[in-house]
């Protein structure tokens, strides 16, 4: 789930790839600022390995932004 703001200012939780993609892109950009030499392959591996496995019939992981970025500095 991704927390977001509704038009009336209230906070709500949303889920789905369209919400998650923006958050992952944000963390990826911050990772590249902290470590500009990361290759796309290394960045992808970092995001996946630092993610939390979630119970699912799919190979799903939950982004852990703080843990991912803390490994870089």
pLDDT at 56: 78
pTM to 2 decimal places = 0.77
The 10s digit of each residue's pLDDT in 8-65 is: 999 988 877 777 888 899 999 999 999 999 999 999 999 999 999 988 787 788 899 9
Rounded to 10 deg, the angle between the 17-34 and 40-50 helix axes is 120
Q: What is the pLDDT of residue 55?
A: 85
The answer to whether the CB of 3 falls within 8 A of the CB of 11 is yes
Q: Please tell me the predicted confidence (pLDDT) of residue 20.
A: 83
Looking at the DSSP assignment, which residues form a beta bridge with residue 3? 13
């Amino acid at each position: 789930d991704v927390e977001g703001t509704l038009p009336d200012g209230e906070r709500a939780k949303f889920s789905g790839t369209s919400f998650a993609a923006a958050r992952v892109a944000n963390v990826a950009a911050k990772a590249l600022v902290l470590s500009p030499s990361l290759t796309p392959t290394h960045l992808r591996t970092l995001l996946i390995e630092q993610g939390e496995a979630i119970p699912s019939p799919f190979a799903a992981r939950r982004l852990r932004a703080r843990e991912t970025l803390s490994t870089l500095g």
